[in-house]
Amino acid sequence: MTARSFSPGWSTVLSRHRLRRIGLRGACLLATLAVWLASAADAGMPPVAVNGQIPTLAPLLLQVTPAVVNIAVLSGAPETDNPMLRDPFFKRYFGGRERGHPQMSAGSGVIIDAQKGYVITNHHVVSGASEIMVTTKDRRQFQARLLGSDAGTDIALLQIEPTDLGALRFGDSDALAVGDYVLAIGNPFGIGQTVTSGIVSALGRFGIHPDGYEDFIQTDASINPGNSGGALVNLRGELVGINSAILGPSGGNVGIGFAVPSNMAQKVVAQLARFGEVRRGRFGATAQDITPDIARALNVSPNEGAMVVEIVKEAPADKAGLRRGDVVLALNGRPVRGSGDLRNQIGLIPVGDVAELKVQRDGKGVVLRMTVEDARAGAATGRQTMTELAGARIGTLVRGGQPEVVAVVEVDRGTSAWNLGLRPGDLIVGVNGRKIHDVAALIAQLRSPDRPLVLNVMRGEFGITLVLKS
């Protein structure tokens, strides 16, 4: 394509006179935008215009920015707050707040359903909130209701009054490629709605929050404190990510920001809207990445798939026929890029759904169907309550006639157990690193003189630790 294919303005911009004024780098950028604009026009994409001789994203932003909101959160630390905050060692990692003193914080959010008033944001933005206020671009304020929140993916769903709202449509984050242009929209430092631009710097980043489900989009679009929960959009005006984290020694932007992919966020939102939480099921197998040595030994492609190394007896993976040494290549038609990706995908499959696993076994392709089972331990026996975990009903999960693990059957909101962090379906596998199999062993450990007490908990397919100090 030559300059003659564009509007007369572009011919002028790319003339020798203009090249001398804007420099080679600027000319290359303008040429790139010109090619994109021409192809966008042919594809009927949203308006990214040329105003005179200057390319502008203003028409596109005019459409998408009304769907991005500011979120103000009022939170306090009541007497039943997380027991970790009463320990000076942990307290300093939570900002040193004192109980009884309300705190204000700010973040961002995105309206994803104008008819229902659904607003998506980060879990960490609204965690512990006693009051949430949403402010739209036109400065209208709405009291928000928290429908549900998921710490594992750092996604939360709010609802506001659906009055004359704009909404963003989800884009396909799996279609992103490194180098794609993206825009970050949010409320950095609480100063008001701000738009920054950049590219997709990397895909599939993990290790930012090791206990969570991670598949981050990395971008160099400026993301700062307060941008959390805001929108990452492509040049079609589609929501491709929810801005979540930054990596910077000073706490500010250094060109390394992370967003939760839209495809992951959509699956989480669907469960939050239905259940108020993400109900993760049991898979019952562990896997490892495919190293070059393993790839040569098994004749598979390196850095693709995940090799099964352990299977729990009578778990869904076992019932489906999965074997040690199998290489899982795809799940429900989506390629598996490694053990972390396999864990992420399984963690977002609703309980009761049937997952199709494409597996390589002994050099041959095998397709297995696995029903994801509920990890809530409905068959747990001997449900009990105890003062140390007030508000929770605990039972022993028995398999094959033998006690296997302690299960949390129910937890009342606002109780000590809830504020500690226990949730229905959690499996308490140990206390202070000591393995337990039944409620009697749990009670004995909780009443031991050791302090503080650390509960070793499995939630879905990942482990967490909860600190209990009495």
Active site residues: 124, 154, 228
Q: What torsion, rounded to 10 degrees, do the Cα atoms 321, 322, 325, 328 define?
A: 140
100 exposed, middle or buried (CB, 10 Å; 0-12, 13-18, 19+)? exposed
CA-closest candidate to residue 417, choices 462, 451, 455: 455
- In degrees rounded to 5, what are phi and psi of residue 73? -120, 130
Instruction: Report, in angstroms and rounded to the nearest whole number, the Rg of the chain calculated over CA atoms.
Output: 25
Q: Are 52 and 11 in contact (CB under 8 A)?
A: no
Please give the Cα distance from 355 to 53 (Å, whole number).
53
Distance CA 51, CA 39 (A): 17
Residues listed for the chain: 470
Q: How far apart are CA 319 and CA 369, in angstroms?
A: 9
How many whole angstroms separate alpha carbon 216 and alpha carbon 199?
14
How, if at all, do strands 402-411 and 427-431 pair? antiparallel
